[in-house]
Chains A and B, each alone.
Chain A
Amino acid sequence: MSTAPAQVVRSEWTKIRSVASTVWTLSLAVVVTVALGMLISALSKSEFGNLSARDRLSFDPTYISFAGMSLGQLAMIVFGVLVVANEYSSGMIRTSLAAVPQRATFLFSKVAVATALALVVGMATSFVTFFLGQAMLGDLRASIGDPGVLRAVFGGGLYMTLIAMFSMGVAAMLRSPMLSLGILMPFFFLISGILGAVSATKKVGRFLPDQAGSKIMQVVTPVGDDTPYGPWGGLGIMALWVLAALAGGYLVLRQRDA
């Protein structure tokens, strides 16, 4: 005896499409990623002449076109956090769980719907970013048919989706939009980058979800790079982070009073 998951998925779809935050977070993710990617691609083209021979060897036109994702992913984080944590901040969670007392069905239907939406938007963003970025790069551009490029572009869409999923898991654990954003935004925007740049923490930093996951978007391995995992290995590490966050979120939801 339970509530049919198909009904709950339908209900969660109604929920997600009927709030304005879905539209503005996802559009912001697209716009910021694409616009910043185009800008950085254009700048890279004009700077290419000044690069050293070594840097020219490491030049990765595909990866450069995804540069906007560092900022665009923040909008994906907001999307993932709000989808889950708004249930708590509004008190809707009590109404929702009265309708769907099976907490696993409730949480995973919600995550499934939000993930599907993030995947569609993420894939579209990734492909649009790639093609517009390459257009800015002119002669330096990569082609979608080049070895590893399609994998990188497809991976960019997966990366954005996984970032949103990770945020959903964290929000389910913390149950507060402000707390979740207050931790996730500085972490992904600043702390992860610092940990990855400082040589002492670099070996740890590259196992963080965003650094491991973004390996999938690299086509040209930088000279002297000793990362111990490949593109899919990196995405796998990120997927493990996502699983851990969602499992933690489910355990919190299962244990605690609503």
Chain B
Amino acid sequence: MIEIEGLTKRYGEKMAVNNLTFTVRPGIITGFLGPNGAGKSTTMRMVLGLDRPTAGDVRIDGRRYDQLKDPLTVVGALLDAKAVHGGRSAYNHLLCLAQANGIPSRRVGEVLDTVGLTPVAKKKAKGFSLGMGQRLGIAGALLGDPRILMFDEPVNGLDPEGIHWIRNLMKTLAGQGRTVFVSSHLMSEMALTADHLVVIGQGRLLADTSMADFIARNSRSYVRVRTPERERLRDALHEAGLTAVEAGEVLEVEGDASESVGELAARKGIVLHELSPQRASLEEAFMGLTAESVEYHAHGGQPPAGPGPEQAAVIPGPPGDGAAQQQWGSEWRQR
């Protein structure tokens, strides 16, 4: 269990991590989500005592990291894959870590086997691809058979097979009752792996919720309806007690209502050109949540001075993108 309490890190004027409080529990995968520069890596470095907090505290099973005896046997971490001396072989890299924490040297062979690096065990790490470096880092995290595992962006640089492998590995580890804390900037990745979600933006906690709750709360479903008789349909929907909002040329009806909308239109003899159920993706929900706190905006390829205030409404977006788009837009207009 990792307990983070009031954790704050300031670099000069900039608050990298701002009063974070949350708990990472055993037996599940906790996803740590936030846009680039949100403070995820800084938080993880503070858990390991590499960076000193400006304020606040991190406890690992009730103790500070530097109070742990042989810390690699308690917490295994993958921070960045290139935290390896390139001139040292994979085997010797892991051996020196094992020796520092009194881990038997046969574990080195075992973890190399687990991550599939046995054939290159004697090769120098500088010849490794990004994916192999990532696997070596994961081997280092597993070395001490720790109860707590922390992975910072583990799928970066891995090929699809490798991504599949790390997802299964994390699930297995959590299934064994271990604490698994994994960061990502991709909601889609988290949706596939995490049971619990901690979202941060600009160092502040934005959400601390179970994945199921997050999905239930944030994935808005609605029915997209296109008709030449918009006014008539609106009135009919209103009479039937269905909420509809106009979004440009189409109507959006809240809820899983495609059957009732279709039947209603048939009864009233209203022609429909389109009737399609929609679901706003989690990625959009995440973007909506963090839009206020995204540090580096791409401005959607438009020059900053260009668009007037009315432009946001007519930016052509994928279906169901309306809510998220407007929040992104309103964000840059404020600046």
Interface stretch among B19-27, B29-37, B46-54, B229-237? B46-54
Check A99 against B101 for contact (C-beta < 8 Å).
Answer: yes
Check B100 against A19 for contact (C-beta < 8 Å).
Answer: no
**Inside 8 A of B97's CB, which chain A residues have their CB?**
11, 95, 99
**Inside 8 A of B89's CB, which chain A residues have their CB?**
18
Task: Say whether, besides A97-B49, A101-B49, A11 and B85 are in contact (CB < 8 Å).
Answer: no
CB-based nearest A residue for B98:
A11
**Inside 8 A of A101's CB, which chain B residues have their CB?**
48-49, 65-66, 68, 71
Interface stretch among A29-37, A86-94, A168-176, A236-244? A86-94
In Å, the complex CA distance between A88 and B52 comes to 18
CB-based nearest B residue for A92:
B85
**Inside 8 A of B49's CB, which chain A residues have their CB?**
97-98, 101
Q: Which of A8, A20, A87, A90 contacts B100 (CB 8 A)?
A: A8
Q: How many residues of A contact B (CB 8 A)?
A: 32
**Inside 8 A of B63's CB, which chain A residues have their CB?**
1
In the complex, whether A258 has a CB less than 8 A from a CB of chain B is: yes
Check A19 against B65 for contact (C-beta < 8 Å).
Answer: no
Task: Say whether, besides A99-B101, A101-B66, A94 and B85 are in contact (CB < 8 Å).
Answer: no
In Å, the complex CA distance between A133 and B42 comes to 57
Check A14 against B99 for contact (C-beta < 8 Å).
Answer: yes
Q: Which of A3, A21, A90, A93 contacts B70 (CB 8 A)?
A: A3
B interface residues with partner A (beta carbon < 8 Å):
45, 48-52, 63, 65-72, 75, 77, 79-80, 82-89, 92, 95-97, 99-102, 140
**Inside 8 A of B87's CB, which chain A residues have their CB?**
19-21, 86
Task: Write 25 A-B pairs (CB below 8 A) sorted by A numbering.
Answer: A1-B68, A3-B101, A7-B100, A7-B102, A11-B97, A11-B100, A12-B96, A15-B92, A19-B88, A21-B87, A86-B85, A86-B87, A90-B82, A91-B82, A92-B84, A94-B79, A94-B83, A95-B140, A97-B50, A98-B75, A98-B77, A98-B79, A99-B100, A101-B48, A101-B65
Check A90 against B86 for contact (C-beta < 8 Å).
Answer: yes
Task: Say whether, besides A18-B89, A86-B85, A91-B80, A98 and B99 are in contact (CB < 8 Å).
Answer: no
Task: Say whether, besides A3-B71, A4-B102, A257-B52, A90 and B84 are in contact (CB < 8 Å).
Answer: yes
A interface residues with partner B (beta carbon < 8 Å):
1-4, 7-8, 10-12, 14-15, 18-21, 86-87, 90-102, 257-258
CB-based nearest A residue for B64:
A101
Task: Say whether, besides A14-B95, A97-B49, A97-B50, A90 and B83 are in contact (CB < 8 Å).
Answer: yes
